[in-house]
């Protein structure tokens, strides 16, 4: 993906290293299973973000951030560029396709180990998430390592898909969809699949701008497939329970991301109808 000339978003809070060390009971495969189970939390993230009381070390306060220079920090530069691209794209998309919705930028919070949000405390094992209470996206770059090594979904566009998905939850908040769809697994699946579709809408415009290289779309599809509920359940427990899905199957996630990327139309992302 060609992102180096996009520029940097001014809406990035770099809280990495602000807090003390993190302690997670179990470690190893236990942390991985937890990350697999709750990654991309949608709906009501506060149900998942209550692990902070079990952690050691100081807790970073909301808004605390290090304004360190980007320099050679490629992860920071990449995240800032993708955030900038998402802001530009969604400002345009909403003005054209949903002009009654007032667009506002979310914040992207970078953290290591643990972080406090309006939805509660979270540790790295939760994975990337969006909190509607403070309209912020939260990301620990350690998840990119998991995406590459454990999920077998490498590539910068796969990483961009992760950020774009969480940004999609912000669009749901602005449009009122987040408030409407709550309280059941079916609603959670609809929210997550719509966020996948919104990530695809952004991908459509990135492709239109000539920012995608050959194979980039496949990177995102591979990532979407890797985090399908059926794939995760088969891997972690050896069987699949569709009635317990919260994010959608691998096939569904691929389908809805593809729909957004092929159409560039958020009106094609009505997963709840």
User: What's the pLDDT band for 266 if we cut at 50, 70, 90?
Assistant: very high
DSSP-assigned beta bridge partners for residue 137: 108, 130
Domain span including residue 213: 12-268
Residue 180 lies in a domain: yes
What tokens does 31 get? Answer: 């942390």
Residue 135 lies in a domain: yes
In the predicted model, is pLDDT for residue 69 greater than 70?
no
Residue 5 lies in a domain: no
In the predicted model, is pLDDT for residue 202 greater than 90?
yes
* Per-residue confidence (pLDDT) for residue 74, from 0 to 100: 94
Q: pLDDT by residue (tens digit) across 31-63?
A: 333 444 444 444 444 444 444 433 333 344 444
Give SS3 for 214. Answer: coil
Q: pLDDT by residue (tens digit) across 139-152?
A: 999 999 988 888 88
Cβ-count burial 6-37 (b if 16+ within 10 Å, e if not): beebebbbbbbebbeebebeeeeeebbbbbbb
Residue 93 lies in a domain: yes
Which of 20, 21, 19, 22 shows the shortest CA–CA distance to 60? Answer: 19
Which of 176, 145, 183 shows the shortest CA–CA distance to 162? Answer: 145
Q: What is the number of structural domains in the chain?
A: 1
Instruction: In whole angstroms, give the CA distance from residue 79 to residue 123.
Output: 19
User: What's the pLDDT band for 184 if we cut at 50, 70, 90?
Assistant: confident
* Per-residue confidence (pLDDT) for residue 37, from 0 to 100: 43
Specify the range with the lowest mean pLDDT, choosing from 14-18, 77-81, 203-207.
Answer: 14-18
Residue 113 lies in a domain: yes
* Per-residue confidence (pLDDT) for residue 59, from 0 to 100: 40
């Amino acid at each position: 993906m060609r992102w180096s000339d996009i520029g940097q978003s001014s809406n990035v809070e770099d809280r990495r290293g602000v807090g003390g060390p993190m302690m997670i009971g179990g470690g190893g495969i236990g942390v991985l299973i937890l990350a697999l189970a709750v990654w991309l939390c949608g709906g009501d993230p506060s149900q998942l973000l209550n692990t902070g009381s079990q952690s050691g070390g100081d807790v970073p306060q909301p808004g605390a951030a290090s304004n360190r220079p980007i320099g050679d920090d490629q992860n920071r530069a990449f995240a800032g560029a993708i955030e900038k691209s998402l802001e530009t794209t969604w400002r345009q998309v909403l003005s054209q396709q949903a002009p009654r919705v007032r667009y506002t930028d979310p914040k992207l919070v970078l953290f290591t180990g643990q972080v406090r949000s309006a939805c509660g405390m979270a540790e790295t094992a939760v994975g990337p998430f969006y909190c509607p209470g403070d309209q912020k996206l939260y990301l620990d770059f350690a998840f990119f390592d998991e995406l590459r090594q454990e999920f077998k979904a490498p590539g910068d566009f796969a990483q961009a898909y992760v950020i774009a998905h969480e940004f999609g939850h912000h669009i749901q908040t602005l449009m009122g969809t987040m408030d409407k769809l709550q309280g059941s697994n079916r609603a959670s699946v609809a929210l997550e699949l719509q966020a996948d579709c919104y990530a695809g809408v952004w991908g459509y415009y990135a492709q239109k701008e000539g920012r995608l290289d050959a194979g980039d779309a496949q990177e995102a599809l591979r990532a979407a497939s890797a985090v399908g509920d059926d794939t995760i359940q088969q891997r972690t427990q050896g069987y699949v329970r569709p009635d317990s899905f919260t994010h959608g199957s691998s096939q569904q996630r691929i389908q809805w991301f593809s729909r957004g990327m092929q159409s560039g139309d958020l009106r094609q992302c009505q997963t709840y109808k």
